[in-house]
């Protein structure tokens, strides 16, 4: 980065950084909006507010996942009696029975015993021959049954760069995204203390969860979402006051609820 750029990024890192309301940097006003990803804070009714930040979009992906199972998969005899069924299918079972019967009954039993056992062994042999190389696995016991669908997951990498002011163009945007990833407030005391705290509006639930946000990328708006994680580098180029001149952030977002086909239609500009 040039010395001139370092000189123009004369931000004061000691001042109190305020959460960014809108990007006014030349970076975000002079390039196509489709190169940017814009994150907007939602209110309690999940409506967009005026608080929004933008960053250069580098890469990302959207993951949709549904869970299915085959509840009848283990109901066939191959799973209940695996050794027996393997012996029938391979033909080894009848060979073993024949050898055992011949050894035990062949010499000692005589013709009367053989007359009784031979038809039985013959019937079993036919059954074994019919099962050899076959299976009772069918389309019915392999049918997939729907269980559930997961929330939509977005993973992306965004880039921030300071052209005029490192505080407003980098630091405040990072601060805003990090704040949105965390609870708005965690009560410092215990629940018992909270019940006796007259300053609390809700004594049973004294803390506030992270806010919901929306994000707009390539003309599509994803809402409402939760900023699940923000990975921020601590090193890199800085100005004389310690403000970062650029930063590459890794973000993970998850939708508030699972989506259905209607939500996908809305995403692509379908009926509201």
Q: Is residue 160 located within the same domain as residue 56? A: yes
Q: In a 10 Å sphere around its CB, with 0-12 CB exposed, 13-18 middle and 19+ buried, how is residue 191 labelled?
A: exposed
Boundary-marking domain end, from 118, 142, 166: 142
Bond into 224 cis (ω within 30): yes
Residue 137 has a pLDDT of 72
For residue 10, being part of any structural domain is answered with yes
What mean pLDDT do residues 12-33 have? Answer: 60
For residue 36, being part of any structural domain is answered with yes
Q: Map residue 72 onto helix, strand or coil.
A: coil
Boundary-marking domain end, from 123, 142, 161: 142
Residue 144 has a pLDDT of 87
Q: Is residue 260 located within the same domain as residue 156? A: yes
Per-residue pLDDT at 70 exceeds 60? yes
Categorize the per-residue pLDDT at 4 as very low, low, confident or very high, splitting at 50, 70 and 90: very low
CB contact at 8 A, 51 and 25:
no
Boundary-marking domain end, from 89, 119, 142: 142
Q: Is residue 253 located within the same domain as residue 205? A: yes
Q: Is residue 109 located within the same domain as residue 181? A: no
Which residues constitute the domain of residue 49? 3-65+150-267
The residue with tokens 């379908």 is 270
Residue 31 has a pLDDT of 84
CB contact at 8 A, 167 and 243:
yes
CB contact at 8 A, 105 and 117:
yes
**181-209 pLDDT, tens per residue?**
999 887 766 655 555 555 656 555 667 88
pTM of the model as a whole: 0.69
Most confident option among 111-120, 128-137, 205-214: 205-214
Q: CA-based diameter of the chain, in Å?
A: 111
Per-residue pLDDT at 19 exceeds 80? no
Q: Give the total number of structural domains in the chain.
A: 2
For residue 185, being part of any structural domain is answered with yes
Report the candidate in 17, 55, 21, 19 with the shortest Cα–Cα distance to residue 36. 55
Q: Is residue 263 located within the same domain as residue 177? A: yes
Per-residue pLDDT at 14 exceeds 50? no
Categorize the per-residue pLDDT at 94 as very low, low, confident or very high, splitting at 50, 70 and 90: low
Q: Is residue 123 located within the same domain as residue 237? A: no
What are the DSSP calls for 5-35, one per residue? HHHH----TTSPPPPP----SHHHHSS-GGG
Residue bearing the bigger pLDDT, 200 or 9 = 200
Q: Is residue 242 located within the same domain as residue 200? A: yes
For residue 272, being part of any structural domain is answered with no
**205-235 pLDDT, tens per residue?**
667 889 999 999 999 999 999 999 999 999 8
C-alpha–C-alpha distance, residues 19 and 182, integer Å: 14
Q: Is residue 171 located within the same domain as residue 231? A: yes
Residue bearing the bigger pLDDT, 47 or 129 = 47
Residue bearing the bigger pLDDT, 109 or 183 = 183
């Amino acid at each position: 980065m040039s010395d001139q750029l370092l000189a123009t990024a004369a931000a004061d890192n000691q001042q109190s950084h305020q959460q960014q309301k809108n990007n006014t940097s030349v970076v975000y006003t002079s390039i196509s909006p489709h190169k940017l990803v814009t994150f907007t804070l939602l209110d309690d009714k999940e409506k967009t507010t005026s608080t929004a930040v933008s960053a250069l979009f580098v890469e990302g992906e959207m993951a949709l996942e549904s869970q299915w199972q085959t509840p009848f998969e283990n109901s066939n005899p191959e799973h209940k009696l695996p050794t027996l069924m393997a012996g029938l299918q391979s033909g080894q079972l009848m060979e073993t029975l024949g050898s055992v019967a011949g050894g035990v009954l062949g010499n000692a039993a005589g013709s009367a015993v053989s007359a009784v056992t031979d038809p039985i062994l013959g019937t079993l042999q036919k059954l074994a021959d019919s099962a050899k190389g076959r299976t009772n696995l069918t389309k019915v016991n392999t049918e997939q049954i729907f269980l559930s669908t997961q929330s939509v997951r977005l993973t992306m990498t965004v880039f921030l760069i300071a052209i005029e002011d490192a505080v407003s163009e980098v630091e405040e945007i990072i601060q805003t995204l990090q704040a949105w990833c965390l609870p708005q407030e965690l009560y410092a005391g215990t629940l018992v203390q909270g019940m006796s705290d007259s300053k609390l509006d809700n004594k049973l639930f004294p803390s506030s969860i992270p806010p919901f946000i929306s994000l707009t990328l390539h003309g599509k708006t994803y809402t409402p979402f939760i900023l699940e994680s923000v990975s921020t580098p601590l090193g890199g180029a800085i100005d004389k006051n310690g403000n970062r001149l650029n930063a590459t952030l890794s973000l993970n977002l998850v939708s508030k609820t699972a989506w259905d086909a209607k939500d996908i239609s809305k995403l692509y500009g379908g009926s509201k």
